[in-house]
Amino acid sequence: TTGGEGGTTVTVTNASDFLRYAQASGRYVIRVDGTIALSGMEDVASDKTIIGVGANGRITGGGLDLDGVRNVIIRNLTFTGADDDAINVQDGSTNIWIDHNDLSGADDGLLDIKRGSDFITVSWNRFHDHDKTSLVGHSDGNASQDRGHLRVTYVHNWFQGTNQRHPRVRFANPVHVLNNYYSDIGSYGVASTMDAGVFVEGNYFENVRRPTSIQEGDSDEGNIREANNLLVN
């Protein structure tokens, strides 16, 4: 996953310029300097790196929709106040890297991965002050599209003061949840349902009532393998 490497580098400070490059064909490295106020979910095209400049890169009000695209990196951005998802990865999107972002306060999910997407890495992000944090597989009835896909790694993330879905997985096998920090979680940490296979390894769960779960809502049970996790309180 190389994103816009080798393409044109641009710096954007407003929503119109941001969307012009994010939705263009070809390779772009898009440097976000300042606050980009979006309205609703906005598409991101293939072969893009979207990266915040220092601590200034912010996306508010709306979210990013990766729909049937490949080779996208989203890095070093603050997402807050989205009126739907902060980031939505769907419809067979592949080779997506979500890295070093701060996500909170969306209306729905902070990061949802669904509808046959594949080969996703979620690394070094802070998820906080939210309910439905990160979904893998959107419904119990979507096996035909999702089974054999949705291979995702969550590594070195901090889930802080969130409630559920860290992640909540359907059908995917394998999903690797590795070396993450969970602090003050409300309902549960990691859930595996609908025969998913999730490897929960080397995580630190602090003040988490249910670190793992194999059944949520009306979903059938999934499978979890656990190794070398630390449980505190």
Q: Which of 209, 190, 214 lies closest to 201, judged by CA?
A: 190
CA 118 from chain centre, in angstroms, equals 12
> 215: which residues sit within 8 A by CB, 6+ positions away?
191, 193, 221, 222
Which position among 165, 170, 209, 225 bears the catalytic label?
Answer: 165
CA 191 from chain centre, in angstroms, equals 15
Assess whether the previous peptide bond of 174 is cis (omega < 30° from 0).
Answer: yes
Q: Which of 21, 72, 28 lies closest to 46, judged by CA?
A: 72
The yes-or-no answer on residue 165 being catalytic is yes
**What is the set of active-site residues?**
165
